[in-house]
Amino acid sequence: MAKNEKPHSAEYFGEARDFWWNSDFLALMAERWKLREARAVLDAGCGIGHWGRTLAPFLSPDVALVGVDRESEWVEKAAAIAKAKGLSRFTYRQGDANALPFGDAQFDLVTCQTVLIHVPDPRATLREFARVLKPGGLLAVVEPNNLAGSLVRDSETFDGDIGVLVDAVRLQALCERGKAALGLGNNSIGEQLPGLFHEAGLTDLQVYLSDKTTLTLPGVSTPAAAAALAQSEDWLSRDFWIWEKAETESYFRAGGGAPAEFPRLWDNAMAYWRRSLQAAKEQRLSAVQGGLQYLISGRKPGR
């Protein structure tokens, strides 16, 4: 990592991430996935350990979970949080999800959350995940279609200029295409993964959608809405959209966008977002924040 460069996903590890899931939905998924049967679990690309800790209440008390991430900063932070929360059977180590530091057939469950959107070759990554799975083991991933969110509008922006809406969708679509072209991952890979699971030889495929939304209403305050508002305020204060401006422009150009067009598209996208943020701060916004977040699983044949 270059000097002064943030580790990956730093902008997305704030308090808002703690409100990504409904616990009753996860309890249902734990039953569907038979999570209590797993004794050895790998949290691949674990970041600061959010996904593993989210699953912790639904895992066996005897489980041994190991998280792997390429960033030493995240590994250290994940370990510190796990220790503070008394998760003594959760350990973390530095490593690459595309070249896992484990032998074959080591884990009952390999899982990740919003990791495959960052890898250059998801087929190769899935093969690596399957390699370390025991026969009969479960691969369960959570990955989105992020582009779908560009069409969502709230009480402030619903009646806005359709041309601005189309521009916002176009900007994000070109950026996602460019990010993938640069070998940095497909931000909307969710719908493609079942087919890739099938190609990898996994069986008993299941696909579900998260039921989580964050509701914003005038004069109504919830911890989830407050965290989302704080994140938006922080990002906009630093001219941050989905990515930083320079990074966004590099993706836009790589996706085939005309350089002369970028400033207008960027300004329109940020103005739309600021309009909603101002309405939220003035407690006159009605909005639902959700998304297409897929939970995709399959089993390794052979048990």
Map out the domains of the chain as residue ranges.
11-299
Q: Which fold has domain 11-299?
A: Rossmann fold (3.40.50)
* Chain center to CA of 223: 20
Question: What integer is the mean pLDDT of 94-100?
Answer: 95
**Res 1 pLDDT > 60:** no
Spell out the residues 6+ positions from residue 53 whose beta carbon is closer than 8 angstroms to its own.
Answer: 81, 82, 85, 87, 90
Of 84, 49, 85, which Cα lies nearest the Cα of 66? 49
Least confident range from 79-83, 101-105, 280-284: namely 280-284
* Chain center to CA of 220: 27
| Count of residues making up the chain | 303
The one-character DSSP state at 156 is T
pLDDT digits over 194-238, tens only?
A: 999 999 999 999 999 999 999 989 988 899 989 998 999 999 999
Give percent of the chain above pLDDT 70.
Answer: 98
| E strand segments, 104-230 | 107-113, 133-145, 203-209, 214-216
The first and second tokens of residue 25, run together, are 């939905």
> How would you label 248-285 residue by residue, b for 16+ Cβ within 10 Å and e otherwise?
bbbbbbbbebeeeebeebbebbbebbeebbebbeeeeb
Cα(first)–Cα(last) distance of the chain, in Å? 41
Residue type, position 233, single letter? E
**Dihedral class, residue 129 (left if φ above 0, else alpha if ψ from -120 to 50, else beta):** alpha
Q: Evaluate if pTM is beyond 0.85.
A: yes
**Res 157 pLDDT > 80:** yes
pLDDT band, very low/low/confident/very high, at 161 (cuts 50, 70, 90) = confident
pLDDT digits over 289-303, tens only?
A: 888 999 999 999 986
**Distance between CA atoms of 253 and 27, rounded to whole angstroms?**
43
**Distance between CA atoms of 163 and 149, rounded to whole angstroms?**
17
Return the half-sphere exposure (C-beta side, CA atoms, 13 A cut-off) of residue 119: 25
298 three-class SS: strand
Question: What integer is the mean pLDDT of 253-281?
Answer: 93
* Chain center to CA of 183: 17
Spell out the residues 6+ positions from residue 243 whose beta carbon is closer than 8 angstroms to its own.
Answer: 175, 251
Give percent of the chain above pLDDT 90.
Answer: 81
pLDDT band, very low/low/confident/very high, at 65 (cuts 50, 70, 90) = very high
How far CA 65 is from CA of 29, 81, 115, 223, 259, in Å, comes to 18, 14, 17, 29, 46
pLDDT score of 3: 44
Spell out the residues 6+ positions from residue 185 whose beta carbon is closer than 8 angstroms to its own.
Answer: 116, 117, 118, 119, 120, 122, 179
